[in-house]
Structure 1
């Protein structure tokens, strides 16, 4: 194993998220698991949005790995994308690892069946090439989303907060 391969493997194993940029769409943060020499991830309805990245069989993706403790970029590497056939031997091994990392699944008891029927399990295999890390920042405008946390504060909230403080004394 070369130093580059070792760096890719160790950094990717330890990072909870990887940033993946496919042939189409923006770069996305995706959760994954490192298994048998490659990053594996699941996408589809109820899971990660991988379809908009253009990650198809034979495509090439750029994977950027961040430091788990500091959040800074450690390495960027080129990956070849392959889709694991549902319920195949490789798929079953990858899904067994992925299930352990999937947090808050709404249907944990039938997770494997849903992934086989509706989702795609992708394998991102390092091609051995690492990309040159840029000198500057890669800050980008956040992607549009219907999710929001900003709503007007209820008019009675300041009074309720003061009342709660007095009651606790």
Structure 2
């Protein structure tokens, strides 16, 4: 069995967890982490965002920026590995980007325009590549003791209001004894 001290273990763990996870959590230089769908292609996580796709605004993901990517376990859903990544936004004529866009298009669920998806992404959206930049900062055996929970983001939505009087209430049943 491989241990964390062996060369290539971190890279293999990053690759396998990114391939099997439907979402990755990305924390850019700005803003809170965000869950984003992706594909693993040619040694990197690729994702698309913009109008009609997942929002990337507020994360500060510019070409050459650094980000932190978290992958979760497929079976339990808990955090499995956290790794630093270098963000790149290849040009639309890049061959590797074109191949990644084809793979992204096959994984895109409920697309409104499947026939012209790649053209729309090239014209209106951003396609980003997250290349691992170093070893894992968290992984099996190196997880922090705290749960990593963060307070919820501020929102005008609220559920802490009194129940309207017209709604029926639940009555508690007494145990017969």
Common topology (TM > 0.5) = yes
Distance in 2 (alpha carbons) for counterparts of 1:144 and 1:107: 34
2:151 corresponds to 1:141: yes
Structure 1 position 109, deviation (Å): 1.6
- 1:2 maps to 8
Distance in 2 (alpha carbons) for counterparts of 1:39 and 1:48: 15
- 2:99 maps to 93
Q: Which of residues 126, 139, 145 is equivalent to 2:132?
A: 126
Distance in 1 (alpha carbons) for counterparts of 2:104 and 2:53: 12
- Structure 2: tracts of 5 or more residues without a match: 1-6, 169-177
Distance 1:131 1:89, change over 3 A: same
- 1:17 maps to 23
**Which protein has the bigger strand share?**
1
List 4+ stretches of structure 1 deviating above 3 A.
141-148
Distance 1:143 1:113, change over 3 A: farther
Structure 1 position 144, deviation (Å): 5.6
Distance in 2 (alpha carbons) for counterparts of 1:6 and 1:30: 21
TM-score by length of 1: 0.82
Distance in 1 (alpha carbons) for counterparts of 2:123 and 2:117: 10
Deviation string, structure 1 residues 93-125 (Cα, Å, up to 9, x no partner): 010110111101111121111101110100000
**Which protein has the bigger helix share?**
1
- 2:76 maps to 70
8 Å contact from structure 1 (residues 84, 120) kept in 2: no
Distance 1:111 1:146, change over 3 A: farther
- Structure 1: tracts of 5 or more residues without a match: 159-169
Aligned length: 154
Structure 1 position 34, deviation (Å): 0.2
Structure 1 position 146, deviation (Å): 8.6
8 Å contact from structure 1 (residues 25, 52) kept in 2: yes
Alpha carbon RMSD of aligned pairs, Å?
2.4
Distance in 1 (alpha carbons) for counterparts of 2:89 and 2:65: 10
For 2:58, what is the secondary structure of its paired residue? helix
- 1:109 maps to 115
